Structure 1
Amino acid sequence: MNPIKISVIVPIYRIEDYLPKCIESLLQQSFKDFELILVDDGSPDNCPKICDDYAKLDQRVKVIHKPNGGLLSARKAGLDAALGTHIAYVDGDDWVDHFYLDTLYKLAVANDADLAVTGHFREFDGKIETIKPNNPGFYNEERIKSEILPNAIYNGEFCEHGMSTYVWNKLFKKELLIKVLYDISNDVVMGEDAAITYSYLAISKQLVISKIPLYYYRQRHDSIVKSVEDPKTEYYRLGLLMNFLKTKLSPVLDKYNLDKQITYYLYSQILVRSGGLTYNQQKDSWFNPFLKTTKDSKVVVYSSGSFGQHILSTNLKTDYFKIIKWIDVDFHDLKIGENTVNPISSISNNEFDYLIIATINPSTHKSLKEELELMGIDSSKIVKIDTDITKIQNLIEDLGFDQNFIFTKKTN
């Protein structure tokens, strides 16, 4: 009888400062019947040695050294070697609660669930935020298809997921994961987790969602800043993801609902990666999604996360807005151009025309807007993102995506 119930797979690349804490948190689990598969994806730092050292200390640790092939290839390599009936994925720069595996496994077994989902903690610069799913409970196949999948990617509020994309707060059955993971092209390097989660959900018959937070997700500002590549390359990659989702979800969702979910998801990803402003070559003009704002508007940008950083980086190139200040409640040392992050208490109404909250999540937008209003900021100056579906569809078509969300304009 196979004693291994869970295979924990950790893809590893350039995270030597964080990896020991991750591994220690897993080896100290209250749940014992697991193996830990460390997948060194050709990491050029000290990670390979760290992996090997832990393997010498604990027989539960299995190490795979492979040439760099990206996150999906590492996840696949781990699955190839897995002996457990269930699979958990953990990112090597994060860490987990002492009862992470125990709770996930009991949730899965007690409900005979194909997928178990929990809450998580978000850690940033020493601050920890608890994030819990909005829809806890047990779902059979009928409810998955009628309640979960129609709102999984886009829940009716731009652009909030009904089911989180992350794979690390979930426990999968190996026999089902095998059916979807290998179908995902390794060229999908944007939204890899979404490709796994949503395609797996489409073949799940029983689902359990718990509010218990068990996973510590480390939000690293040094991991966010990435130079935006040639837009055509990025659109091609996004098209791979969106077309894959359409293919896998078409059997379980009606075309109208599926196309709407993917349209909003694609739009949100284009916005984040482009810093909001998107050059529309067909119309030889910039598409500005921030309602009320115009070129040369004096703007304050709230959020130093991925979207906020891309807004600052894009504006350096386009000089579209006059960015007066960059603020965040998660105040930390970060600079883009001449702008550094300031605390939210540093602004006053007479300094700016509009304030952009750099988030595509409506719940986050609402919460931050309320905090700003309590600080005396004029609510009429806090802008929203344009979510007119017709404008979005026209933009996506003009950029070069076809009806199946494939990017048809080839890269240079």
Structure 2
Amino acid sequence: MKPTKISVIVPVYGIEKYLPKCIESILDQSFKDFELILVDDGSPDKCPIICDQYAKLDSRIVVVHKKNGGLLSARKAGLEVAKGAYIANVDGDDWVDKYYLDTLYKLAITNNADLTVTGHFREFNGKIETIKPSNPGVYNENQIKSSIIPEAIFNGEFCEHGMSTYVWNKLFKKELLNQVLFDVHNDILMGEDAAITYSYLALCKSLVISKIPLYYYRQRHDSIVKSIEDPNMEYYRLGLLMNHLKVKLSDVLDENLLNTQLNYYLYSQLLVRSGGLIQINDTPEYFNPFTDVSIGSKIVVYSSGSFGQHILSTNLKTNYFKIVKWVDVDFHDLKIGNASVQPISSVNEEDFDYLIIATINPSTHRLITSELLLMGIHDDHIAHFKTEEKIISQLIKNIGFDKNFLFQQNIEQLN
């Protein structure tokens, strides 16, 4: 048989509502020399049936049925059977442009690239936003090590990546991905794409970055985990991610720079997953990351995305802040506790002490701040994060992470 140029791996779990659109968008590609690997990760709905039905209709489809093991285990199962020289990844609730594979492949072949990166579309509640990399171009091995990797995880602004973590807007060489993916621990459930992308980047001798958006990422309300139920288990998993990155990047980054990158990345993950209030070990003590905001402050939360939902859910348990309103420019029907999302025009400055913009992306924070200023909200009422590295590194130590970013508490005690 003629070798397949690209293997497209799609992990499948609990997405029967979205899966057909995903599969059909891949089968409709202008580029024809590919195989589609659908990995049923023990999905409890009709997804296994949908996968098998499509496989009967198109010989390019390979279906893998396996016991549920999580996203990473599904990606690994797909890679194990992949025959393509290149690997593309698509999440089963997303979809792709007709020229997704064609463009990725031409970019890779033309530039002899080990890694190909493109832009994407973000679909949220029916609205589509175009997101493009800020550093397009072709990079050789020296440039990757001198300018790309040093800013990949943290580009100097809290907390913005120099390269997106996602695996789905990229094309990988199978021979290199084999050296990376199987080393990633299956317990890494938050940031698993980062574990793959940044480890892979350390092996690359050539890279091409394009602004062309080809992938439609669907951000779903029902896919967001609301709050940390077990902080110690969360810290353990985040520790695995950070330790993995430290090991894989230690040969290509100065130790101090690498520690800075990981300090800020871990802090950002702790912020989002904890809903802003970071618990110190098993004590009732919380680290409040918002400058000037204190217990009992009257708060407006801006953003109904992941971070915003975490803040609402965490505050239900802690009652740390008095949340008086929850707003978003992407107004839609969503409720947590007694709070429901309201339009931005409903905010009156006299009703609150501080407004928390629930994003860790500085560009997004600045954009939202400028819009709020136009609405009459003064800058001194907009909360800002504590971002001094000395404070962050001490916090990470206080929580219980060691110098290698592993969480010190014995995980056996958590089971």
Could you say which residue in structure 2 is the equivalent of 1:291? Answer: 291
Q: How many residues align?
A: 412
Alignment of 1:115-130 (within 5 A): 115-130=115-130
Could you say which residue in structure 2 is the equivalent of 1:177? Answer: 177
Partners of 1:307 and 1:248 lie apart in 2 by 28
Return the letter of the residue paired with 1:72.
L
**1:195 matches 2:160:** no
Could you say which residue in structure 1 is the equivalent of 2:366? Answer: 366
Q: Could you list the per-position Cα deviations for residues 234-290 of structure 1 after superposition, in whole angstroms to 9, with x for gaps in the alignment?
A: 000000000000000000000011000000000100111110111225986321001
1:48 CA drift (Å): 0.3
Partners of 2:101 and 2:192 lie apart in 1 by 23
Q: Confirm or deny: 8 A CA contact 2:116 2:208 kept in the other structure.
A: yes
1:156 CA drift (Å): 0.3
Q: Confirm or deny: 8 A CA contact 2:227 2:314 kept in the other structure.
A: no
Alignment of 1:130-209 (within 5 A): 130-209=130-209
Partners of 1:282 and 1:17 lie apart in 2 by 40
Q: Confirm or deny: 8 A CA contact 2:281 2:400 kept in the other structure.
A: no
Ranges in structure 1 where 5+ consecutive residues have no aligned partner: none
Return the letter of the residue paired with 1:106.
K
Return the letter of the residue paired with 1:345.
S
Helix, strand or coil at the partner of 1:368: helix
Could you say which residue in structure 1 is the equivalent of 2:76? Answer: 76
Could you say which residue in structure 1 is the equivalent of 2:334? Answer: 334
**1:320 matches 2:320:** yes
Return the letter of the residue paired with 1:51.
C
Among all aligned residue pairs of Structure 1 and Structure 2, give the percentage whose two residues are the same amino acid: 71
Q: Confirm or deny: 8 A CA contact 2:118 2:132 kept in the other structure.
A: yes
Partners of 1:74 and 1:130 lie apart in 2 by 28
Q: Confirm or deny: 8 A CA contact 2:231 2:279 kept in the other structure.
A: no
1:330 CA drift (Å): 1.2
Helix, strand or coil at the partner of 2:117: strand
Q: Could you list the per-position Cα deviations for residues 11-63 of structure 1 after superposition, in whole angstroms to 9, with x for gaps in the alignment?
A: 00000000000000000000000000000000010000000000000000110
Could you say which residue in structure 1 is the equivalent of 2:90? Answer: 90
Q: Confirm or deny: 8 A CA contact 1:272 1:310 kept in the other structure.
A: yes
Return the letter of the residue paired with 2:239.
G
Q: Confirm or deny: 8 A CA contact 2:55 2:62 kept in the other structure.
A: yes
Return the letter of the residue paired with 1:298.
K
Helix, strand or coil at the partner of 1:360: coil
Q: Could you list the per-position Cα deviations for residues 63-113 of structure 1 after superposition, in whole angstroms to 9, with x for gaps in the alignment?
A: 000000111110011001100000000000000000000000000000000
* Runs (4+) off by over 6 Å: none
Helix, strand or coil at the partner of 1:182: helix
1:3 CA drift (Å): 3.9
Compared CA separation, residues 198 and 281, structure 1 to 2 (3 A):
closer
Partners of 1:352 and 1:227 lie apart in 2 by 24
Partners of 1:383 and 1:398 lie apart in 2 by 24
Q: Confirm or deny: 8 A CA contact 1:232 1:410 kept in the other structure.
A: no
Helix, strand or coil at the partner of 1:340: strand
**1:28 matches 2:28:** yes
Return the letter of the residue paired with 1:201.
L
Partners of 1:16 and 1:30 lie apart in 2 by 25
- State which drifts further: 276-285 or 162-171: 276-285
Normalising by structure 1, what TM-score?
0.98
Helix, strand or coil at the partner of 1:237: helix
Partners of 2:374 and 2:36 lie apart in 1 by 47
Q: Confirm or deny: 8 A CA contact 1:275 1:313 kept in the other structure.
A: yes
Could you say which residue in structure 1 is the equivalent of 2:225? Answer: 225
1:305 CA drift (Å): 0.8
Helix, strand or coil at the partner of 2:165: coil
Could you say which residue in structure 2 is the equivalent of 1:62? Answer: 62
Partners of 2:300 and 2:376 lie apart in 1 by 15
Partners of 1:125 and 1:287 lie apart in 2 by 33
Partners of 1:17 and 1:316 lie apart in 2 by 31
Could you say which residue in structure 2 is the equivalent of 1:382? Answer: 382
Q: Confirm or deny: 8 A CA contact 1:108 1:208 kept in the other structure.
A: yes
Q: Confirm or deny: 8 A CA contact 1:282 1:399 kept in the other structure.
A: no
Return the letter of the residue paired with 2:46.
N
Partners of 2:272 and 2:279 lie apart in 1 by 14
Partners of 2:282 and 2:32 lie apart in 1 by 58
Alignment of 1:389-400 (within 5 A): 389-400=389-400
Partners of 2:76 and 2:279 lie apart in 1 by 36
Partners of 1:81 and 1:3 lie apart in 2 by 13
Could you say which residue in structure 1 is the equivalent of 2:278? Answer: 278
1:292 CA drift (Å): 1.3
Q: Confirm or deny: 8 A CA contact 1:145 1:252 kept in the other structure.
A: yes
**1:409 matches 2:409:** yes
Could you say which residue in structure 1 is the equivalent of 2:243? Answer: 243
Could you say which residue in structure 1 is the equivalent of 2:39? Answer: 39
Q: Confirm or deny: 8 A CA contact 2:227 2:275 kept in the other structure.
A: no
Partners of 1:145 and 1:6 lie apart in 2 by 27
Partners of 1:321 and 1:189 lie apart in 2 by 29
Q: Confirm or deny: 8 A CA contact 1:29 1:100 kept in the other structure.
A: yes
1:396 CA drift (Å): 0.5
Return the letter of the residue paired with 1:303.
S
- State which drifts further: 2-11 or 160-169: 2-11
Output the aligned Cα RMSD.
Answer: 1.1
Partners of 2:66 and 2:279 lie apart in 1 by 39
- State which drifts further: 185-194 or 154-163: 185-194
